[in-house]
Structure 1
Amino acid sequence: MSITTLKGSRIIIIGGSSGIGFATAQQAIEQGAHVIIAGKSKEKLMIAQEVINNNHLQTYVLDNQDKNQLQDFFKRVGNFDHLFTPGASYSLGPITATDNIAESSFIGKFWPQYYAVKYAIPFLSNSGSIVLMSGAFSQRPLKGAPAYGACNGAIESLGKALAVELAPIRVNVVSPGTIQRENEQNENRLAAYETYKSLSLVKRPGHNDEIAHTVLYLMQNSFSTGNVLFPDGGYTYH
């Protein structure tokens, strides 16, 4: 059977208190999964708990850039079935940017996912899966963020390598395009939405629920591994 049910499974989402991670948690719980979301902000986790309001949800405060915290987290949580790692924190800048900006994508996005997988492995079911998150910038970078583009490409390569190394555990990568944030007021972000409309085939940014649907597909399809999926409205092809 190639499609597995999520009902009764344990899913860990690191970076699940908002955005794509939160939408994934909501959809997974609707399908009967038990979800553990971890994030830096206790306040955001409390809000997530209130909004979802379901005893299938647990929350943990976690700094995913701290390897010791990651290791302790998985020891506390114990055995589980699926891992999704959307949590990231970074800054963008051109090749002339400061070292801190240049290195932030790998420090805040690549290495946290790498070490999350490393410390998760002893507790992850052999029939389970891992979904890493990169971004469509890996395939179609724009001017002004070379390190960020390289980081996303590295995550996609990491996913393929881990699929080989960790089999039969399945490893895939979701690489979304620009996502519309609710009630966005930031002028730079609003301008980015308009740019994305002109660059994508569907002429709009994506929505968190659309990416979450892709993530759950990768968890459920037991014949999918080593893949990178681009829910980006055709951005990478236009």
Structure 2
Amino acid sequence: MSITTLKGSRIVIIGGSSGIGFATAEQAIEQGAHVIIAGRSKEKLMVAQEVINNNHLQTYVLDNQDTNQLQGFFKKVGNFDHLFTPGASYTLGPITATNDIAESSFIGKFWPQYYAVKYAIPFLSNSGSIVLMSGAFSQRPLKGAPAYGACNGAIESLGKALAVELAPIRVNVVSPGTIQKENEQNENRLAAYKAYKSLSLVKRPGHNDEIAHTVLYLMQNSFTTGNVLFPDGGYTYH
């Protein structure tokens, strides 16, 4: 049997206090894993700790754009089995946007994942795995966010290159479509959810739990590496 059990394993999630990272932490703990989540907001981490309410969960305050903090974080964590890196902060804009906006996707999404892997390697089990996170804009970009589309494509290429370089450690990428946030009030986000119904084959945006399920599959299937999975409701094919 080539399915890896998560029971008793140690999983690090950078960006795990909310959204997809939080849903992944919840599901992993339900399967018996010990989970370490890191994020910028101490308040969000405290809420996550209260909601999950399990002694298998540890939390750390971490700015994943600070390489010194990343190095120190992994030294504190020590040896572990799986890494997931959904934490990202960026601003979208067209080709005419300011340099700061254009560079924000790589500064806030690509490089934090790149350096997280770099500093995690000394502590990551050879039988373990890494799951990076990109986005379906890599395959089907929409108008107004060329740097963001390019960033997601770069993350997917990085995942493939790392799978070759770091074997036998497995490296994969999850590339979700639009994910619906509960109790969303932002009008732009609500409009995006509505638009996604016509852009995807399943006629709806996704949910955090669905992406988390994909992430755990990539951690558990020991014959899967160098792959990009698209839990996007058929967005890339419609």
TM range (shorter): over 0.9
Match of 1:181, SS?
coil
Q: Deviations over 1:198-220 (max 9, x none)?
A: 00000000000000000000000
Distance apart, 1:108 and its partner CA: 0.1
Local SS of the residue matching 1:88: coil
Any idea what SS the aligned residue of 1:236 has? helix
Following TM superposition, by how much is the alpha carbon of 1:73 offset from its aligned partner in structure 2, in angstroms?
0.2
- 1:122 is displaced (CA, Å) by 0.1
- Distance in 2 between residues matched to 1:227 and 1:161, nearest whole Å: 11
Gaps of 5+ in 2: none
Distance 2:4 2:11 in 1: 14
Other structure's SS at 1:71 match: helix
The 3-state SS of whatever aligns with 2:236 is helix
5 Å-filtered alignment, 1:103-122, equals 103-122=103-122
SS at match of 1:215: helix
Alignment correspondent of 1:44: 44
Structure 2 equivalent of residue 144 of structure 1:
144
Deviations 1:39-81 (A, max 9, x none): 0000000000000000000000000000000000000100000
RMSD: 0.3
1:151-174 per-residue CA deviation (whole Å, 9 max, x = no partner) reads: 000000000000000000000000
Query: Cα deviations across residues 157-201 of structure 1 (Å, max 9, x unaligned)?
Result: 000000000000000000000000000111100000111110000
The DSSP-based 3-state class of the residue aligned with 2:8 is coil
**Structure 1 residue 201 corresponds to structure 2 residue 201:** yes
CA distance in 1, matches of 2:11, 2:133: 15
Q: Deviations over 1:106-141 (max 9, x none)?
A: 000000000000000000000000000000000000
Q: Which residue of 2 aligns with 1:11?
A: 11
How far off its partner does 1:2 sit? Answer: 1.2
Task: Tell me the TM-score normalized by structure 1.
Answer: 1.00
Residue 30 of structure 1 and its aligned partner are, at CA, apart by 0.1
SS at match of 1:7: coil
Q: Specify the SS of the correspondent of 2:20.
A: helix
Q: Which moved more, 1:186-195 or 1:5-14?
A: 186-195
What residue in structure 1 maps to residue 169 of structure 2? 169
Partners of 1:192 and 1:77 in 2: CA distance:
38
DSSP 3-state at the match of 1:130 = strand
SS in 1 for 2:47: helix
Alpha-carbon separation, structure 1, partners of 2:130 and 2:76: 19
TM-score calculated relative to the size of structure 2: 1.00
Partner of 1:182, secondary structure, is coil
Give the Cα separation in 2 of the matches to 1:54 and 1:193. Answer: 33
* Residue-by-residue CA offset, 1:21-48 (whole Å, 9 max, x unaligned): 0000000000000000000000000000
The equivalent residue for 1:82 is 82
Q: Structure 2: how far apart are the matches of 1:209 and 1:224?
A: 21
SS of aligned partner of 2:125: strand
Aligned partner of residue 17 in structure 1, secondary structure: coil
Aligned residues: 238
1:63 matched to which residue of 2? Answer: 63
Name the % identity.
94
Moved over 4 A (4+): none
Tell me, which stretches of 5 or more residues in structure 1 are unaligned? none
What secondary structure is seen at the aligned counterpart in 2 of 1:211?
A: helix
